[in-house]
């Protein structure tokens, strides 16, 4: 159920082992939230920036083996007091701030271990109150529509840090790149041996019509939808507003520029064209401003009180108790987890491995 990265990876694994696989997708195209679109030869991403990075050689060999990837090391900039600085921030970049001595004293007086109590506590324990206040707090309030102290520290873990090593890449993973023809091409390649049904909204009640009793089902769709209870889980969605600049080759100094100011409604601007060096000198570019707060399931809301996570666990329990088929969950939506693309692929592969082991017994 679902033709995003997790479902496509699961289908790829099973078809290579001789299984017959049928994939059901609600949309009229495959790819889910990662699908790239094109306008006059320029790539853009209607659901936000997606950068492929991984330390898993198996995952990298898989994706780069089915489609061509071009090298791309992702950089993010954030606006701080009218200037753009690398994100995560480098201490050397901050030294030019007139009050850096005060910031340095804050950093020196941090209590020690990272505070995992909640998102805000985590960030302050890493950045100190001044940098957190200027770079993270308002951005987070815009993105999530709630006070940062109500979010889980897991939302910040691996995404908020202070560096002092000169590395300006956003990710440190060994393998990084971007599919030359976009992520839709990658998902289509993984799904090519499978039977794909588009425009099919499937819930638990529909399983008897499409699957025999006891046949395994891999679910990658959100469980509140799959169980016919939309709204049981909290999600946060974004809307991307594109601006086409026909006489500009590149409009901003990096693919992503964060806008942490509360005075701006958007959180960041994205210029996907940066991923393909052969396009850099060609006139015409698209810049997309990302506005949060729409009704879409882009991000699970992991709250500090663990309320949404408890609801997810209850939905998982009910799904397995009510289903006439063995159910395997994979991907960001089905597992209600804030994960990267390589982990979504691993979810799909591991679910498929379990299915294959069951069917071959």
CATH for 311: 3.50.50.60
Quick check: is 7 in a domain?
yes
316 plus 178 within the same structural domain: yes
| Among 4, 49, 19, residue whose Cα is nearest residue 330 | 4
Q: Strand 195-198 to strand 22-25: parallel, antiparallel, or no bridges (unpaired)?
A: parallel
Q: What is the dihedral of CA 60, 19, 31, 249, to 10 degrees?
A: 40
Token pair 């969605």 in the structure block, residue: 237
Query: Beta strand pairing status for 217-219 and 327-329?
Result: parallel
Query: Range of 293's domain?
Result: 67-184+238-324
Q: Do residues 180 and 258 both lie within one domain?
A: yes
Domain match, 141 and 256 both = yes
Is 287 within a domain?
Answer: yes
- Bridge partners of 54, per DSSP, are 175
Contact call for residues 119 and 299 (beta carbons, < 8 A): no
- Residue 298's pLDDT band (cuts 50, 70, 90): very high
Report the alpha-carbon distance of residue 43 to residue 61 in Å, rounded: 24
- Residue 188 banded pLDDT, cuts 50, 70, 90: very high
CA quadruple 99, 102, 108, 114: dihedral sign: negative
Q: Residue 147: which pLDDT band, with cuts at 50, 70 and 90?
A: very high
Judge whether 74 lies within some domain. yes
Do 6 and 137 belong together in one domain? no
**Residue 352 domain-assigned?**
no
Interval 102-122 mean pLDDT = 92
Please report whether residue 121 resides in a domain.
Answer: yes
Are 141 and 289 part of one and the same domain?
Answer: yes
Return phi, psi of residue 76, to 5°. Answer: -125, 135
Whole-number pLDDT of residue 96: 86
Encoded tokens for 303: 């709250």
Tell me, yes or no, whether 346 lies in a domain. Answer: no
Alpha-carbon distance values, 304 to 73, 149, 258, 310 (Å):
32, 7, 24, 11
Return the exposure string of 281-313: e unless at least 16 CB atoms fall within 10 Å of the residue's CB, then b. Answer: eeebbbbbbbbbeeeebbbbbbbbeeebbebbe
24 with 96, same domain: the answer is no
What is the domain count for the chain? 2
In the structure, what pLDDT confidence band is assigned to residue 97 with cuts at 50, 70 and 90?
confident
* Integer Cα distance of 326 and 352 in angstroms: 12
Answer whether residue 193 shows pLDDT above 90. yes
Share of the chain above pLDDT 70, in %: 100
β-bridge mates for residue 235, sequence order: 300
Whether residue 112 is predicted with pLDDT greater than 90 in this model: the reply is: no
- Say yes or no: 21 and 123 in one domain: no
Of 103 and 112, more confident: 103
Phi and psi (nearest 5°) for 175? Answer: -110, 125
* pLDDT tens-place string over residues 29-52: 999 999 999 999 999 999 999 999
pLDDT, mean over the chain: 95
Distance CA 117, CA 261 (A): 25
Same-domain check for residues 82 and 158: yes
**Residue 313 in domain:** yes
Confidence (pTM) = 0.94
Element (H, E) at 43: strand 42-44
- Same domain for 104 and 176? yes
Confidence of residue 360 (pLDDT cuts 50, 70, 90): confident
Tens of pLDDT, residue by residue over 239-296, are 999 999 999 999 999 999 999 999 999 999 999 999 999 999 999 999 999 999 999 9
Q: How far apart are CA 24 and CA 346, in angstroms?
A: 20
Distance between CA atoms of 67 and 318, rounded to whole angstroms? 38
Residues 162 and 242 in one domain: yes
Q: Check whether residue 5 and residue 102 sit in a common domain.
A: no
**Number of other residues whose CB lies within 10 A of the CB of residue 102:** 12
106 and 243 in a common domain: yes
Q: Is residue 173 part of a domain?
A: yes
Closest CA to 116 of 299, 304, 300, 313: 304
Per-residue pLDDT, averaged over 77-88, amounts to 93
Q: What does the angle CA 280 – CA 283 – CA 287 come to, to the nearest 5 degrees? A: 75
What the block records as the tokens of 173 is 């993973």
């Amino acid at each position: 159920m679902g033709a995003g990265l997790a479902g496509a990876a699961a289908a790829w694994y099973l078809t290579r082992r001789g299984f017959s696989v049928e994939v059901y997708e609600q949309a009229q195209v495959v790819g889910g939230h990662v699908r790239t679109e094109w306008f006059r030869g320029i790539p853009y991403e209607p659901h936000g920036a997606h950068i492929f990075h991984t330390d898993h050689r198996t995952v990298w060999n898989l994706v780069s083996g089915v489609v061509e990837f071009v090298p791309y090391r992702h950089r993010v900039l954030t606006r701080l007091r009218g200037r753009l600085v690398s994100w995560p921030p480098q201490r050397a970049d901050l030294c030019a701030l007139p009050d850096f001595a005060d910031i340095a004293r804050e950093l020196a007086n941090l209590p020690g271990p990272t505070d995992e109590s909640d998102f805000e506590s985590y960030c302050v324990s890493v950045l100190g109150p001044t940098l957190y206040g200027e770079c993270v707090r308002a951005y987070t309030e815009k993105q999530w529509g709630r006070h940062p102290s109500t979010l889980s520290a897991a939302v910040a873990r691996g995404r908020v840090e202070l560096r002092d090593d000169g590395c300006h890449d956003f990710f440190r993973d060994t393998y990084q790149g971007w599919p030359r023809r976009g992520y839709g091409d990658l998902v289509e390649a993984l799904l090519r041996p499978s039977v794909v049904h588009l425009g099919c909204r499937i819930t638990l009640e529909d399983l008897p019509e499409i699957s025999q009793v006891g046949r395994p089902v891999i679910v990658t769709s959100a469980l509140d939808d799959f169980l016919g209870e939309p709204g049981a889980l909290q999600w946060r969605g974004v809307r991307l507003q594109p601006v086409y600049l026909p006489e500009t080759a590149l409009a901003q100094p990096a693919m992503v520029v964060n806008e942490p100011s509360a005075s701006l409604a958007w959180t960041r601007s994205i210029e996907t064209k940066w991923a393909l060096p052969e396009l850099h000198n060609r006139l015409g570019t698209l810049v997309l401003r990302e506005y949060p707060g729409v009704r879409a399931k882009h991000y699970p809301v992991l709250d500090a009180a663990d309320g949404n996570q408890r609801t997810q666990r209850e939905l998982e329990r009910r799904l397995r108790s009510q289903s006439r088929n063995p159910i395997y969950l994979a991907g960001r939506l089905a597992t209600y987890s804030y994960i990267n693309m390589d982990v979504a692929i691993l979810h799909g592969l591991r679910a498929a491995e379990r299915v294959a082991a069951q069917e071959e017994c």
